[in-house]
Amino acid sequence: MVDTIYSAVEALGCTNIPIAFTGSGWPSYGTGDNAYVATMENAQMYNNNLIKRVLSNIGTPKRPWKSMEVFIIALLKEKMKGGDETERHFGLFYPNKTLVYPVNFYH
């Protein structure tokens, strides 16, 4: 997906525009159709692998020399957030500042 964005921007004639990816994450809880994938185990695996990949400084197949800039979607769980139940469970921390699950920021 990242290389698709690079290709689209290049097709517009822009080759040196920095791209940052915001809002990447995985919910640790969900109901209904999302319940089977929105688990604490899946969220932990996704976010730890995302951090590991970013810290590896390995880019994409199209730009292997360029490290990626990625922002995790939410620092805190947002129990008052509207919408689907899943939307309230992207945070890495509970509002009391304790971790929802172990996260390795130093791979």
Higher pLDDT, 27 or 67: 27
> How long, in residues, is the chain?
107
Other C-beta atoms lying within 10 Å of the C-beta of residue 50:
18
pLDDT, mean over the chain: 90
pLDDT exceeds 90 at position 69: no
72 φ, ψ (degrees, to nearest 5): -75, 140
Q: Name the strand (E) or helix (H) holding 5.
A: helix 2-11
Per-residue confidence at 12, pLDDT binned at 50, 70, 90? very high
How much is the pTM?
0.84
